């Protein structure tokens, strides 16, 4: 679809009481503005223009850093003077040279709008029969929204703001303005300069385009959202929480329909870019943030948080935090495991209780069962790491690597001082400090010799008793 989306994201969002731009606040781990950009891309818009203003550098980082390699052109245009929504659209048109095709104007704080809604909205002006359509909705409580009054011909007669509604209008006009507009690009470009600023704020308001277009004999109508939630915006932290709950419910209902079990859908927080395979069970307080892929027949949670992580099928992820990790099939993690970026758990491996792994490969069937830290390590298959073992990978300046061969056995409380090499089938005695390579099939023993001094403890207690009496 050769349509352009203009996303208005220049506002301060003062009611959020934040040091950050309003549309940068996250819903299920994803900034609001990115929800809307993604919806327009999925809808088939060939170009997306984000109008920024407040916190411009922050906004550029959110857009440019995320969509630099997008097949759809996504660009930022700065509105240096915030002179209203009409002015923002004019800035976008002039900066990008938009003169034709459907132009959809969306607010940057509408994270629940779907790609299907955007696509249908753009199509309303694709034939040239309508110069503009206004997105409308019928929320359960219309208070606070501008009301749509239609004429006998079906065109918009006027938009009546809440403060201007009579009691009768407030009770009978239930069609509400969602604040989004679709324009015939040629008509928009031809008449955008006719918007005036003769108002108390001396600003240029985009809704004035309706009367301008009607004055030129152009047809203006509405596009009604089947789901009113598509038009809900965020102006406060309270609304941010409310829309987060709606997004959570939508997503969880989708995955339940696809064959995923949720023990309590109100306590699982699945991001919009996550996917889950069928027959996986999601326990309470599970969070999937960013690009997370989970296979079939897994157990997720309780109390697990996965960020930008891939999980295979048949895994148990119990009380686990995983960030930018790859977990293959049949892997057992937790409880209370921490998989940091660069962790790769191969098929059938295990990261157990109170285990931290960073930038390491844990071989097929290898186990790090409990109370251990493995960092900057390549581990072969069939390895067993005893409790309390650590790869000492940092010398205060540089990180060093450890290599553990297949079928090695690492005794409990072993310190492997990197760069360390432990050969295939080697055995390292418990309590060792390993500073030299351990050859394949050898025993590595690196601990101080035990010395017993007979009677020393009894003599020590006697002297302590004599000191107390003195």
Q: Please report, in range form, the residues annotated as the binding site.
A: 8-11, 22, 79, 84-85, 109, 146, 161, 177, 235, 340, 358, 373, 384, 387, 393-394, 412, 430, 447
Q: Please indicate, yes or no, whether residues 286 and 186 belong to a single structural domain of this protein.
A: no
Confidence at 150, pLDDT banded by 50, 70, 90: confident
Q: Please indicate, yes or no, whether residues 37 and 140 belong to a single structural domain of this protein.
A: yes
Asked whether the CA dihedral 78, 184, 187, 2 is positive or negative, the reply is: positive
Measured in whole angstroms, how far is the alpha carbon of residue 154 from the centre of its chain? 41
Q: Please indicate, yes or no, whether residues 352 and 224 belong to a single structural domain of this protein.
A: no
- Note the pLDDT tens digit of each residue in 238-279: 999 999 999 999 999 999 999 999 999 999 999 999 999 999
Q: Please indicate, yes or no, whether residues 395 and 313 belong to a single structural domain of this protein.
A: yes
- Note the pLDDT tens digit of each residue in 295-316: 999 999 999 999 999 999 999 9
Q: What is the CATH number of the domain that holds 440?
A: 2.160.10.10
Whether residue 462 is contained in a domain is answered as no
Length of the chain, please? 470
Tell me what the pLDDT averaged over the chain comes to: 94
pLDDT of residue 470: 66
Structure tokens at 149: 């009054």
Q: How many CB atoms lie within 10 A of CB 368?
A: 28
SS3 317: strand
Q: Please indicate, yes or no, whether residues 101 and 11 belong to a single structural domain of this protein.
A: yes
pLDDT of residue 452: 93
Q: Please indicate, yes or no, whether residues 404 and 270 belong to a single structural domain of this protein.
A: yes
CB 123 within 8 A of CB 179: no
Number of domains in the chain: 2
Alpha helices (H) in 329-394, listed in sequence order: none
Write out the catalytic residue numbers: 370
Q: Please indicate, yes or no, whether residues 270 and 214 belong to a single structural domain of this protein.
A: no
Res. 462: pLDDT tops 70: yes
Q: What is the CATH number of the domain that holds 105?
A: 3.90.550.10
Whether residue 466 is contained in a domain is answered as no
Peptide bond between residue 419 and the one before it cis (omega within 30 degrees of 0):
yes
pLDDT, mean of residues 3-28 = 93
Q: Please indicate, yes or no, whether residues 164 and 49 belong to a single structural domain of this protein.
A: yes
Q: Please indicate, yes or no, whether residues 168 and 112 belong to a single structural domain of this protein.
A: yes
Q: Please report, in range form, the residues annotated as the binding site for UDP-N-acetyl-alpha-D-glucosamine.
A: 8-11, 22, 79, 84-85, 146, 161, 177, 235, 340, 358, 373, 384
Q: Which domain holds residue 145?
A: 3-231
- Note the pLDDT tens digit of each residue in 277-291: 999 999 999 999 999
Q: Please report, in range form, the residues annotated as the binding site for acetyl-CoA.
A: 387, 393-394, 412, 430, 447
DSSP string computed for 202-232:
----TTHHHHHHHHTT--EEEEE-SSGGGG-
**99/186 Cα distance (integer angstroms):** 5
CB 386 within 8 A of CB 430: yes
pLDDT, mean of residues 165-172 = 86
Range from 10-14, 20-24, 334-338, 408-412 carrying the lowest mean pLDDT: 10-14
210, 231, 252: which is the final residue of a domain? 231
pLDDT of residue 159: 86
Whether residue 154 is contained in a domain is answered as yes
CB 294 within 8 A of CB 273: no
Whether residue 7 is contained in a domain is answered as yes
Range from 31-40, 136-145, 224-233 carrying the lowest mean pLDDT: 136-145
- For the chain, the straight-line distance linking the first and the last C-alpha, in angstroms and rounded, comes to 95
SS3 132: strand
Q: What H or E segment, with its residue span, contains residue 148? A: strand 147-150
**423/439 Cα distance (integer angstroms):** 5
Q: Please indicate, yes or no, whether residues 279 and 153 belong to a single structural domain of this protein.
A: no
Res. 467: pLDDT tops 80: no
pLDDT of residue 11: 86
Whether residue 240 is contained in a domain is answered as no
Measured in whole angstroms, how far is the alpha carbon of residue 401 from the centre of its chain? 32
Q: Please indicate, yes or no, whether residues 393 and 290 belong to a single structural domain of this protein.
A: yes
The pTM of this model reads 0.91
Q: Please indicate, yes or no, whether residues 139 and 283 belong to a single structural domain of this protein.
A: no
pLDDT, mean of residues 133-148 = 89
Res. 58: pLDDT tops 90: yes
């Amino acid at each position: 679809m050769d349509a352009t989306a203009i996303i208005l994201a220049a506002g301060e969002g003062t009611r959020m009481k934040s040091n950050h731009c309003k549309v940068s606040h996250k819903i299920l781990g994803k900034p609001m503005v990115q929800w809307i950009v993604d919806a327009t891309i999925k809808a088939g818009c060939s170009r997306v223009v984000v109008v920024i203003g407040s916190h411009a550098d922050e906004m550029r980082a959110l857009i440019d850093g995320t969509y630099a390699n997008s097949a759809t052109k996504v660009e930022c245009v700065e509105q240096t003077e915030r002179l209203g929504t009409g002015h923002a659209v004019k800035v976008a048109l002039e900066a990008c040279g938009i003169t034709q095709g459907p132009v959809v104007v969306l607010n940057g704080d509408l994270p629940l709008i779907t790609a299907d809604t955007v696509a249908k909205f753009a199509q309303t002006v694709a034939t040239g029969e309508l110069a503009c359509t206004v997105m409308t909705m019928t929320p359960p409580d219309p208070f606070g929204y501008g009301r749509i009054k239609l004429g006998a011909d079906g065109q918009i007669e006027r938009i009546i703001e809440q403060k201007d509604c009579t009691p009768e209008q407030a009770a009978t006009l239930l069609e509400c303005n969602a604040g989004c507009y679709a324009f015939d690009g040629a008509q928009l470009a031809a008449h955008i300069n006719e918007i005036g600023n003769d108002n108390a704020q001396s600003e240029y308001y985009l809704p004035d385009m309706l009367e301008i277009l009607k004055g030129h004999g152009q047809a203006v109508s509405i596009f009604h959202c089947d789901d009113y939630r598509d038009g809900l915006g965020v102006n406060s932290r309270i609304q941010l929480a409310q829309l987060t709950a709606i997004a959570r419910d939508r997503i969880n209902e989708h995955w339940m329909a696809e064959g995923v079990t949720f023990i309590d859908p109100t306590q699982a927080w699945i991001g919009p870019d996550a996917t889950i395979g069928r027959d996986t069970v999601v326990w309470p307080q599970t969070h999937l943030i960013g690009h997370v892929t989970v296979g079939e027949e897994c157990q997720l949670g309780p109390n697990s948080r996965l960020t930008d992580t891939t999980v295979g099928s048949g895994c148990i992820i119990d009380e686990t935090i995983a960030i930018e990790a790859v977990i293959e099939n049949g892997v057992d993690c937790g409880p209370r495991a921490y998989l940091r970026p660069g962790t790769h758990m191969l098929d059938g491996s295990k990261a157990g209780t109170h285990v931290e792994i960073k930038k390491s490969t844990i071989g097929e069937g290898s186990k790090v069962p409990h109370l251990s830290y493995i960092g900057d390590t390549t581990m072969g298959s069939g390895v067993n790491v005893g409790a309390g073992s650590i790869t000492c990978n940092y010398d205060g300046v540089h990180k060093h690597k450890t290599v553990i061969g297949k079928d090695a056995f690492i005794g409990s409380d072993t310190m492997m001082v990197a760069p360390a090499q432990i050969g295939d089938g080697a055995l390292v005695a418990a309590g060792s400090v390993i500073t030299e390579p351990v050859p394949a099939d050898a025993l590595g023993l690196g601990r101080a010799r035990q010395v017993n001094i007979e009677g020393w403890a009894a003599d020590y207690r006697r002297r302590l008793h004599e000191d107390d009496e003195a």
